Structure 1
Amino acid sequence: MTWYAHWVGSLDDNGYHFLLVGLILLTLILLVAGVWFVRRTYWIINTPTSKIVSAHQGYIEIEGITKNIDASPLVSPLTGTACVHESDNLIVVEDETGECLVDPESASIRPNLRRQWYGATERPSGATNSVGGQFFGDYRYTEKLLLPHRNLYVLGWFKTITHDPYVVENESVASLLREWKHDPQMMKTFDLDGNGSIDSKEWDQAREAARQQIQAQQVRELARPQQTHLMSANPQSRRPYIISADDQTVLAKRFRRWGYLLWAGSVLAFFFWVSAYYVRP
């Protein structure tokens, strides 16, 4: 450390004080950053993995397979790659017991696919879309994707929303009746007296026909699920909310490694601060 003592001794007063302040700030920053990573390791390791259907309400972790919330798959706007997460859309995770919606808002997301490239236009076009691979250009494109049918780990707040089947059925009937009102041919089938208007008795018959159609549809579809499971952040909690394509074991090891490295850096910065403090009277 002779070189360090010699260098510190050569600094003027302003440089010396700047060094001391900088080192103590660096020590604190690295210490806090290490706590941030180790704290996430703690919650990943100490939160038991739950099955979706039997999960308790509150802070839990789940693992499953990603799938699209709709029949039509999402695609990345930059490269057209099929994905399950783009912008703020909900993600569906499925395990052997059921499905859970995942709200990505306020989550720390670790995607399956990360790529970055450059181009000459505001949006990538042509061959760049397929290869994603220019190294120079006026525009930088960044893509972070969660892919369908891949493993996903979620640590966050779980809640189950129960639907009243009577309310669900009434809403479906009302929606179907609104569709029929804009279909003249359908309205004619309920105009029993042929006077061109639907009276209250005929409207009651239309409502009953709509209800029977909805009930038959529910039977064919094995009825609507009576519960919706949701994972999301809790604004009133400081616990981490994580959505990760990495396995929880891999994720915990990575967070722990970064935490320990940052703490080691904090100790080293503090050592240099102490050394600098005692080099000069």
Structure 2
Amino acid sequence: MPQNSLLIVQQYPQPPERFEDFLRLLFERHQLDLFQSRQRLLGRSLAQLAQGARNELEQISASLAEAGHVHWLIDPVPPAFAPRRIYGLETCSSGVVFACRDEKVEFAQGTNVLAVLADVSGGLADKLMARMLAGNAYRGREAMQAEGPQQLFSMILQGQPVLDFYRLDKNKKITAAVRVFPGRFNPQGLGEAATLSSRKNLEALLTLMEEQSAAFQLHVDLGVALLPGCQLRRADKNDQDALRQNLNGMTRYGWLMADLWRHGSLPRQTGGNLHQSVGPGGLGTLLMAPLMASGEIDREATLGAHPLMDELRDEFTAATGDPDKAGSNNRQNFARRSTIPMLPAPPPNSPAAWTAQRTWTLILVAGGFIVFFLLLLADRSDLIDQIAYHSIASGAVPFVLAVLSFAYGFYHLRIKRKIENTPTSRIRSVAMGMVEVKGNARRKYALVAPMSHTPCVYYRLTRYRKDKNNRWQAISVASSDSACFFLEDGTGRIEINPAGGRVRAGTRQEGFPGQVGLTRFDSDQTEKWQEEIIVEGTPLYVLGFASNKPAEGESLREEVQKSLRDLKQDPSRLKQFDLDGDGKICVDEWDAARAQMEEEIYHQRLLQHSQQRRRQEDHIVIGRQPGRPLIIAETHCETHLTGKYRNTAIALLLLSTMLLGAAIYLLLDYLN
């Protein structure tokens, strides 16, 4: 049975010019699937575009050559042998000699050497996905970048690296191969370059082989390249079966790279541009390529319900739609993205403001402690006992608790009525004062939850620690109150300041310090955290006070003073205010100059204000005012929110009634 030929292509980090037309040509002329062709041609590595009979692939190769796409049409040579594991090496004038179990393999000086460095744990795809998503979280979607060869090299060394060396003859055919496991060979043959670090010894060995060889190629794309038989499975150190399969895939990858080198020069992967921007239409491809290469998903799963399906579906629509329209949309999207600035860093958390209510509460509590401490110093413990007895027996303590419960319950009832009586406003028509708005939350800053690293508009992190009785107690609470965010409803966008407000987040997660993921629970831990977040894009209900933002920049007075200082340093301009020509500026002349400067700056501001249309989020903010509530709730309906306040108010009022009854009963019994 004849072996199928392979058509391998060099992927593009960005769609080339008239890329959609070329995809349609492949579909109409060669019946290649549009979706698969797009995924195979876009990325940062190598991919198999097609396989089959050579005469059929030659026609596709002709189309690729006509369009200028770098590709290889090869008849792959099956691996004749696997690399032999080395246990030591020796450097001599003739080259490098590797000591294997039962023989020595020599790489003579001036030989062609092909090297493959890979993470056999199969974790490279996960790391790439994590770094890309983290870049999206911190820097925004438009600032995402693909990892370059140097970054891949560093990421591989942090996993379970394995290094293969292939000795090639003049015809680029493999004649020998060795395999290096870091930390499992004697590095004395490296001479002065030998260190105690297994990773450093690996780098030194790579440098040595590159210096000894006539032509050297290093490949680090195993686990990312979409090549047949070269997929890596996720495996830990104890999963010997998966590790064995990954090593076999590494062998097939090395022989395939030798085939490509023999059929044409391969692009060098140890240099070049280390940061490639993700261009229009390339985001989904760059994110999906590692998953597809690792065998985690296939085309059917991708078309099903993968989280990145929205992005891929947009790319597929662009590939299958009208070519001219798709190309125009891509150019417009690229122009739009290139002008979008990155999200700024969130401001530091500001300390809580000391309001008059907090000040009086602190004074009362401190005064009570001082009185109690003075009574203890005066050795009047009997007086303390009498005060405690009479306070409870007379019903004073239950009465105070009843008053507090009544006040707090009435406060919740007042908030419920405020929510019901405040009409919902469109953001575009928000008036100054108490307003009620609904919309989707959008980030103003690159805010990320501290534990789950989720892009969000608000977070509250509570840390708990077990006490002596093995009960959880809150030890600290941190939140993003100082980071404002936007709320938009289709008619406009407005800024929300959550400082001092009641924030009800709908997403709550628990975990432990240093935990990866949020699904593990371990009762033996002595400290845990609870994270409440509002994810970007979540529908929110906001009740608060709309006001104008404080004016930013210099005031009119400051601008006038700056202009007058500049005027003093410009003698030629001062002459026009010297009306009597005596060469000095008197008080009246200086007042005239000041008045002229004020008039010029005032007219300049009016002109700028008329030319620039101020956006609503630039000058209006919804926040908390003294005596006015601020409620930010992640809820689907207003009735659900008012129901919670109603139930809380009823419970507190019932508790207040019961405490008042107990206080009256104790008072009557005390008087009798």
TM range, smaller chain: 0.5 to 0.7
Structure 2 equivalent of residue 144 of structure 1: 532
Deviation at 1:130, TM superposition (A): 3.1
Tell whether 2:441 aligns with 1:84.
Answer: no
Equivalent positions of 1:1-281 (< 5 A) are: 15=389, 17-19=391-393, 20-69=395-444, 74-86=447-459, 87=480, 88-117=482-511, 119=512, 124-127=513-516, 129-131=517-519, 133-159=521-547, 226-228=615-617, 229-234=620-625, 237-246=626-635, 247-280=637-670, 281=672
Task: Give the letter aligned to residue 436 of structure 2.
Answer: E
Tell me which moved more, 39-48 or 154-163. 154-163
Gaps of 5+ in 1: 1-11, 165-222
Task: Give the letter aligned to residue 34 of structure 1.
Answer: G
Gaps of 5+ in 2: 1-385, 460-479, 553-611
Quickly say closer, same or farther: Cα 1:278–1:163, change in 2 above 3 A. closer
- For 2:484 and 2:388, the matched residues in 1 are separated by 54
RMSD of aligned Cα (Å): 2.8
Offset from partner CA, 1:158-212 (integer Å, 9 cap, x none): 1356999xxxxxxxxxxxxxxxxxxxxxxxxxxxxxxxxxxxxxxxxxxxxxxxx
Is residue 85–residue 146 contact of structure 1 (8 Å, CA) maintained in 2? Answer: yes
Quickly say closer, same or farther: Cα 1:276–1:102, change in 2 above 3 A. same
Identical residues among aligned pairs (%): 23
Task: Give the letter aligned to residue 426 of structure 2.
Answer: K
Offset from partner CA, 1:226-247 (integer Å, 9 cap, x none): 432321122xx30111111123
Greater C-alpha radius of gyration: 2
- For 1:89 and 1:14, the matched residues in 2 are separated by 46
Quickly say closer, same or farther: Cα 1:276–1:75, change in 2 above 3 A. same
Deviation at 1:224, TM superposition (A): 7.1
User: Matched residue pairs, number?
Assistant: 202
- Following TM superposition, where does structure 1 have runs of at least 4 consecutive aligned residues deviating by more than 6 angstroms? none
User: The residue matched to 1:37 in structure 2 has which SS?
Assistant: helix
Is residue 444–residue 485 contact of structure 2 (8 Å, CA) maintained in 1? Answer: yes
Quickly say closer, same or farther: Cα 1:60–1:135, change in 2 above 3 A. farther
Is residue 484–residue 495 contact of structure 2 (8 Å, CA) maintained in 1? Answer: yes
Offset from partner CA, 1:80-114 (integer Å, 9 cap, x none): 22322242221111102111111111111111112
Tell me which moved more, 89-98 or 154-163. 154-163
Quickly say closer, same or farther: Cα 1:271–1:24, change in 2 above 3 A. same
- For 1:41 and 1:16, the matched residues in 2 are separated by 38
Is residue 448–residue 455 contact of structure 2 (8 Å, CA) maintained in 1? Answer: yes
Deviation at 1:116, TM superposition (A): 3.7
User: The residue matched to 2:652 in structure 1 has which SS?
Assistant: helix
Is residue 416–residue 645 contact of structure 2 (8 Å, CA) maintained in 1? Answer: yes
Which gives a bigger RCO, structure 1 or 2 (Cα 8 Å, sep 6+)?
A: 1
Quickly say closer, same or farther: Cα 1:162–1:18, change in 2 above 3 A. closer
Task: Give the letter aligned to residue 38 of structure 1.
Answer: L
Is residue 154–residue 242 contact of structure 1 (8 Å, CA) maintained in 2? Answer: yes
Quickly say closer, same or farther: Cα 1:135–1:102, change in 2 above 3 A. farther
- For 2:455 and 2:449, the matched residues in 1 are separated by 6
- For 1:267 and 1:50, the matched residues in 2 are separated by 38
